[in-house]
Amino acid sequence: MNDQPIGICDSGIGGLTVAKEIIKSLPNENIIYLGDTARVPYGVRNKETITKFAFELVKFLLLKNVKAIVVACNTISATCLPELQKISPVPIIGVIKPTVSAVVNNLKTKTIGVIGTRATVNSNSYELEIKKLNNQIIIFSQACPLLVPLAEEGLISHPATKIIVKEYLQYFQDKKIDTLILGCTHYPILMTTIQEVIGENINIVDPAKPTALRLIKVLETNNLLGNNSRHWY
């Protein structure tokens, strides 16, 4: 039993989709959510800048005496997660490995599409992690840089959003994917438009739930589960 808080960080407010799932799964934990709204978005920046910002986020959370950290940001998870884990005295989990495990365990999955920020897609992280678990699976990835500002502006099912989503997802048209991973925490906000464009037959995967489930396992394994009343900082 451990009453220290869990730290969740993201480039902005997108990671609240992950935080929501964690709070639902772990109602007795204290949560510190750190969203870098002063420097969002991260996905358009270079590796050096993203890594610098990510270290600052983790160091801030460590000063708050957290017992574990969830990097609820695909861009950071794809860019420098091992480096963060190296300097941290507490467990750090990202969103990519938990999501990939959940997807690969679904035996129906043969061909996966991944959409994300430019940094996430250029890192090839989803492809590398999937291939580690099952190198028979085929992966196609597409960067969708405009979806973050469209989601932030609330243009959820706006005609312009539909045109842009259609253009991005057109890449998958002849790829016969059965699964589409939303490799950015902002994208679940546009779920309706994405599902409409990609079609009802494609299984869309939101990293929030697998990440929350992985956190529970990590807390259990390290004997870190808490029993607090819930506080928001």
Interface of this chain with a second copy, residues 85 to 144, rule: CB under 8 A: none
Structure tokens belonging to residue 52: 């610098």
CB of 81 to a second copy, least distance (A): 20
Residue 70 to residues 9, 118, 151, 190, 192, Cα–Cα distance (Å): 6, 21, 22, 23, 26
Structure tokens at 226: 């808490």
Residue with smaller CB distance to a second copy, 87 or 160: 160
What H or E segment, with its residue span, contains residue 15? none
3-class state of residue 180 by DSSP = strand
User: Hey, how many other C-beta atoms are within 10 angstroms of the C-beta on 135?
Assistant: 8
Which is catalytic among the residues 9, 80, 144, 184? Answer: 184
Question: Is residue 196 near a second copy by the rule CB under 8 A?
Answer: no
> Quick check: is 184 catalytic?
yes
39 binds a second copy (CB under 8 A): yes
* Per-residue contact string for residues 143-172; x = within reach of a second copy by CB under 8 A: --xx--xx-xx-x---xxx-xx--x-----
| Two structure tokens written together for 138 | 């085929």
Which residue in 122, 64, 105, 102 sits closest to 181, CA to CA? 102
Query: Under the criterion CB under 8 A, does residue 209 sit at the interface with a second copy?
Result: no
The residue range among 44-52, 91-99, 101-109, 181-189 that interacts with a second copy, by the rule CB under 8 A, is: 44-52
Nearer CB in complex with a second copy: 153/196: 153
Q: DSSP label at 221?
A: H
CA distance 27 to 7: 14
Question: Torsions phi, psi of 33, nearest 5?
Answer: -105, 125
Nearer to a second copy, 133 or 160 (CB): 160
Which residue bears the tokens 């029993």?
Answer: 227
Of 40 and 180, the one with the shorter C-beta distance to a second copy is 40
Which residue from 28, 37, 65, 106 is in contact with a second copy, where contact means CB under 8 A?
Answer: 37
Catalogue the active-site residues: 73, 184
Interface with a second copy by CB under 8 A: which residues? Answer: 37-39, 44-45, 49, 145-146, 149-150, 152-153, 155, 159-161, 163-164, 167
